[in-house]
Amino acid sequence: MSLVSMTQEEMVNHFEQIKEVVNKLLIDVSVEEFNNRQNKKKWSAAECVEHLNIAAQIYLSNIPKLPKRSVVLIDEETKISARLFAKMFIGLSGPKVKVKIKSPKSMMSEEKNYGKDIIDDFFSLQEEFLKILVSVDSEQLKRIKVPWPTFELMKFTLGEVMMLTIAHELRHLNQAESAIDSQ
């Protein structure tokens, strides 16, 4: 499935599937396994999850206030496609990236030993993304502009932010799975 062109329903499904993957992958690991690094250059599963939590908090804080409204009907047909610059970012932050990119310091934590409570934080943040997705229509996903966290003059559409978030989460969940599997 493409990460640069999705319907609103596909976005919702991705966030739900990501929650399921995290639940299956991390819920039964010990705190030691969760924090274990393969080597000094690789992140632990915990560091991957905490990085995603920090990134999600920043992305969510940049989304403008949305009008209060009840749940909208999820669009199953209208594709929302990323524009050129967003496609590039999705490619650079997605699960099949070949080039390592150093995470900005603003998206890193100083802590090195985490409790499993950060998984609950992750689930809460996923729910925030889902609440947004069910409170807007596909036109708003194309129209609402969101500043990029590390360079606020650059703006993406809300739909592009959702696709970027999904790609970024898939990347680091693959990394977390590798950290767990290497033990």
Q: Would you list the DSSP string of 7-68?
A: EHHHHHHHHHHHHHHHHHHHTTS-HHHHH--SSTTS--HHHHHHHHHHHHHHHHHHSPPPPP
What is the pLDDT, as a whole number, of residue 78? 95
pLDDT tens-place string over residues 151-166: 778 899 999 999 999 9
- 19 lies in which domain range? 5-181
What is the pLDDT, as a whole number, of residue 1? 67
What is the pLDDT, as a whole number, of residue 149? 78
What is the pLDDT, as a whole number, of residue 105? 62
Q: Which residue has the higher pLDDT, 14 or 71?
A: 14
Residues 6+ apart with CB under 8 A from 125: 52, 53, 56, 57, 60
Number of domains in the chain: 1
What is the pLDDT, as a whole number, of residue 94? 87
Mean pLDDT score across all residues of the chain: 90
Q: Which residue has the higher pLDDT, 99 or 183?
A: 183
Residue 104 has pLDDT above 90, yes or no: no
Query: How would residue 106 be classed by pLDDT, with cut points 50, 70 and 90?
Result: low
- How far is 126 from 16, CA to CA, in rounded Å? 8
- How far is 3 from 171, CA to CA, in rounded Å? 12
* CATH (domain of 159): 1.20.120.450
pLDDT tens-place string over residues 34-58: 999 988 889 999 999 999 999 999 9
